[in-house]
Amino acid sequence: MSIGEKLQSLPKWILFLCLIVTASVLQFFNIPLPNKPQDPAIDYYAFAMSIPPGSTVLVSSDWTNSTHGESGPQFDALMRILMRRNIKFAVYTTADGQAPQVAKDEIRRLNEQRVKDGERPYRPFEDYVMVGYFPSAEGENLAMSINLRSAFAGKKDFPEGAKEPVDIWQSPVLKDIKDISDVKALFLISASNTDQIIIERLAAKVPLVYAVTGISAPQNFNYYSSGQLKGLVGGLKGIYDLEYLMTSGVNHPGADGKIAVASTRVPGDVPPLPGRNQGLGTAYFPTLHAALALMILAIIIGNVGMFMARKAQGASK
């Protein structure tokens, strides 16, 4: 077998071993990477920061651990923004029966971190409510667009210290909400097709802001560029952009007077978010770099091998 043929047929285990090593080793290092956030993420951050404190938003948490690498940091970053800005939220899902428990666990973990960092814990029922899972995404989102109160009717959650669960419509989160248009925004963290369903059913009723997996991002760019989405975070690059923006702000001069992220899309100065902002997105991003670099290297090796083999065949003829 010639070198060209060998380069074209590397055993799978070598590729897999390289991937395991590159993906694992970088997890142990905190490597700051230069970045230029993309417009959809800038719009996402600017929109989230424009929501008045004390108002209520909906969070459609349609992900589980299968996409934790992307959806987990997206959920964390959104929660950090909402919690720090004292924005109330109601979490529901129409994608997966496991999703409410995953969201609950994540909120609990973030609350523990907040307490450690000297921030107040976000209180269930007072600051947020868990609405739960609805098996029919089409039916539920349509019902929400017509009558939000009926769509969430009968759902209960535990106020702090309460012995019995109480109707979520009595909570400070939802008590003043009559209609979906009273909700300031619907934030979606999705690893399923609910992004399409929500666009179809709710785009005309409430501002939509999406965080989706890298694979769904191209499809959602259509809705972003048409203005149906107020902001879009796609995949790990999107979440790295968002965490970067949470640290630097937009059009905001830093301590040295320099503006780290300048954008003509956003009028005025959007300040950074005080406190801990760099999370899993920043931690995972170097790994994505290494994995993509490995993929490019593998493609180059395969093509070099193919050319060498062709050249050798041509010479022998």
Partner 1 sequence: MLNLFLDIDPPTIFNAHNNFQTLTTYIIGALLAGFGILFALLKAPPQTRRGIVFFVTFISGFFYVLLFIWPSPINRSKGDAPINGFDNVGFWLADAQPVVSTMTQIIGGFLIGLGIFSLMRIHLKRIVKGGGDAPFSFTLVLSMILMIIFGFWDFHQRQQPGAGPLLDNQANWGFVNYAKDYLFDGMLQEMEAAMFSIIAFYILSAAYRAFRVRSIEATILLTTALIVILSLMSVVEYQWGEMVNSVAGGNKNSFVQNFTLTNVAGWIRASVQQPSIRGIDFGVGIGLLAMSLRIWLSLERAGE
Q: Which of residues 162-181 bind partner 1 (CB under 8 A)?
A: 162-165
* β-bridge mates for residue 248, sequence order: none
Cβ-based neighbour number of residue 140 at 10 Å = 21
24 binds partner 1 (CB under 8 A): no
How far, in Å, are 44, 61, 123, 160, 246 from residue 37 at the CA level?
Answer: 11, 24, 32, 39, 11
Q: Which stretch binds partner 1 (CB under 8 A): 12-20, 46-54, 265-273, 276-284?
A: 12-20
Pick the binder of partner 1 from 2, 38, 55, 263 (CB under 8 A): 38
Stated as kind and residue range, the H or E segment containing 131 is strand 128-133
64 binds partner 1 (CB under 8 A): yes
Token duo for residue 160: 């702090």
Q: Which of residues 272-291 bind partner 1 (CB under 8 A)?
A: 285, 288-289, 291
Pick the binder of partner 1 from 5, 55, 85, 98 (CB under 8 A): 98
142 binds partner 1 (CB under 8 A): yes
161 binds partner 1 (CB under 8 A): yes
63 binds partner 1 (CB under 8 A): no
Pick the binder of partner 1 from 203, 301, 308, 312 (CB under 8 A): 301
Query: ∠ CA 166-202-232 to the nearest 5 degrees?
Result: 100
204 binds partner 1 (CB under 8 A): no
Pick the binder of partner 1 from 203, 259, 283, 306 (CB under 8 A): 306
84 binds partner 1 (CB under 8 A): no
Cβ-based neighbour number of residue 24 at 10 Å = 11
Q: Which of residues 230-249 bind partner 1 (CB under 8 A)?
A: 235-237, 240
Q: Which residues contact 12 (CB under 8 A, 6 or more apart)?
A: none
Largest CA distance in the chain: 86
Q: Which of residues 247-266 bind partner 1 (CB under 8 A)?
A: none
135 binds partner 1 (CB under 8 A): yes
> Minimum Å distance from CB 88 to partner 1?
18
2 binds partner 1 (CB under 8 A): no
CB 214 within 8 A of CB 236: yes
CB 273 within 8 A of CB 45: no
33 binds partner 1 (CB under 8 A): yes
Nearest alpha carbon to residue 58 among 283, 210, 200, 276: 210
* Total residues in contact with partner 1, by rule CB under 8 A: 71
Pick the binder of partner 1 from 27, 86, 150, 313 (CB under 8 A): 150
- Our measurement of the distance from residue 131's CA atom to the centroid of its chain's CA atoms, rounded to an integer in Å, reads 20
Residue 64 DSSP one-character state = -
